[in-house]
Amino acid sequence: MMRSFFTMLAVLLALTTALVTLAGLLLERQPVLLAGVLATWEPAIREWSATLLQVFSISVAVSIIIGIMNLLLVHLRRSGRRDTGCGYSLVLFLSAAIVIGLTYLERENLLTTGAEWRVLLLEQVQVTVESSLAGLLLFGLVYGAWRVMALRVNGWGSLFVLTVLLVLGAALPLPELAPLVPLRDWLLAVPVNAGARGILLGIALATIVVGARVLIGQDRSLRSGRDE
């Protein structure tokens, strides 16, 4: 009983906030077109819409902070349990603690080394690791293409590999490969453009479907297990 009450309330809340926000956003895009329809309510709707967006943004920020705290607590607990991976958890927790601690010490002028530890950690650890991870993708991608027809040699696989080779070949600035450039440009301008447009339109249509589900109260995330 209580659960369905909360579900109903949640659906109603989602519906109301969605409609108010949507009205505000539409008014921002087409003020002239809609101002007549919503003349009386326009300033209020715009203000509510802006406030809801602001509350949303700050809520997400709060959620991220809580999420990070949760993550650190989980790893702190794990590091005390001496099971598999507890060392990694300790490393993760200590890394975060060092960054936060150094920031505090720097802000309070308690560090006397004269070095910008925080900036140093950012560039020498975070950027280094993330950039190197991204660099590793190269091997996976090349190896994936190398073996793409390992299972079955068919037309689609061949077309895929040919396209990959054409894109790569046209990017290699050798005079011998220059004839590939106009072909690559045409490929990007027409079939790839068409495919990308299809994908983008598909995403937009899917978004509309999901949005419509929320607006009619059919979204699963608002229902608890028993409701379904």
Partner 1 sequence: MSEYYGQGSGDDPWLPGGDPPPAWAGDPSSSSPLLSLLEQLRDRPLNRLSRRLRRLRARSDQLARRDPSAVPNVFVPASGAAASSAPRRRRRRRRRLRVGGERFFLSLLLVTGMLLPFTGVQTRFGESAPTTFVAGSPQETLYESLDVLTPGDLVLVGMEYGPTAAGELDTVAGVLLRHILLRRAVPIVVSRYPVTLLRTEQMLTQLGQAGSSLATRLQRDVDLVPNADWFVTRFLAGDLAGLRALSMNLREQLAMDLRGSATGLDIRQLGDFARVLVIAERPEDLRQWAEQIAPLAGSDMLAATGQAAVPLARPWLRVALSGTISGFHDALTYDSMLLQQLEVSVGPPSAPRNLRALSLDESIELEWDRPLSNGGSPITGYTIRHLSTPYLTWVEVPLTGSDTTHTLTGLDNGTAYDIQVRASNAEGDGPWSRQITDVPRSVPSQAQSLTLTAGDASVEASWSAPADDGGSALTGYRLRWRTGTEEWRSADTAADVTTYTATGLTNGDAWEFQVRAVNQAGAGDWSAAETATPLAGAQALANAAADSQQAPAVATATPGIFLGTVRAGASELSLRDSADAAGALLGIVNPGENVQVLLRNAAASWLFLQTNDGLRGWLPAASLDLGPVDIRDVPAQAAPQPTATPGATATTLPAGSLSGTAAQAPGDAGPADRPGTILQAAERESSIHIGLALSIVMIALGALGNMGSAALRRGRRG
Partner 2 sequence: MASVEQIGLWASFLLTLMIFSYLLGDNFLYRLAVFIFAGVAAGYSAIVIWDGILIPWIHDTLLAPNATPEQLTLGAAPLLVGLLLLVRSWSARGDGLSRLALALLIGVGTAVALDGAINGTLIPLLFDTGEGVVAGNLDSILLPAGVICTLVYFQYQARRAPQGPGRRRRHIQLLAVLGQGVIVVTLGAIYGAAILTSLTIFSERLGFLVQQAQVLLPTPTPGA
Q: Which of residues 170-209 bind partner 1 (CB under 8 A)?
A: 171-175, 188-189, 192-193, 195-197, 199-200, 203
Rule CB under 8 A: say whether 120 interacts with partner 1.
Answer: yes
Q: Which does 99 bind (CB under 5 to 8 A by kind): partner 2, partner 1, none?
A: partner 2
Please pick, from the candidates 37, 142, 153, 216, the single residue that binds partner 2 as defined by CB under 8 A: 142
Rule CB under 8 A: say whether 33 interacts with partner 2.
Answer: no
Rule CB under 8 A: say whether 177 interacts with partner 2.
Answer: no
At residue 41, the 3 state secondary structure works out as coil
Residue closest to 91 by CA, chosen among 116, 136, 125: 125
Q: Which does 174 bind (CB under 5 to 8 A by kind): partner 1, partner 2, none?
A: partner 1
Of 36-44, 152-160, 174-182, the segment contacting partner 2 by CB under 8 A is 152-160
Long-range contacts of 112-116 (CB under 8 A, 24+ apart): none
Q: C-alpha distances in angstroms, 65 versus 71, 75, 93, 95, 177?
A: 10, 15, 15, 16, 52
For Cα atoms 108, 114, 118, give the angle at the middle one, nearest 5 degrees: 65
- Can you give 83-129 as a three-state secondary structure string? CCCHHHHHHHHHHHHHHHHHHHHHHCCCCCCCCCHHHHHHHHHHHHH
Binding mask of the shown chain, residues 70 to 89, with x at each position contacting partner 1 by CB under 8 A: xx--xx-xx------x--xx
Q: Which does 143 bind (CB under 5 to 8 A by kind): partner 1, partner 2, none?
A: partner 1
Residues 16-55 that bind partner 1 (CB under 8 A): 24-25, 28-29, 49-50, 53-54
Residues 65-104 that bind partner 2 (CB under 8 A): 65-66, 68-72, 88-89, 91-100, 103
Of 33-41, 124-132, 174-182, the segment contacting partner 2 by CB under 8 A is 124-132
Of 31-39, 136-144, 174-182, the segment contacting partner 2 by CB under 8 A is 136-144
Counting Cβ atoms within 10 Å, is residue 75 exposed (0-12), middle (13-18) or buried (19+)? buried
Helix (H) or strand (E) holding 203: helix 191-215
Please pick, from the candidates 40, 109, 112, 113, the single residue that binds partner 1 as defined by CB under 8 A: 109
Tally of CB atoms within 10 A around 51: 13
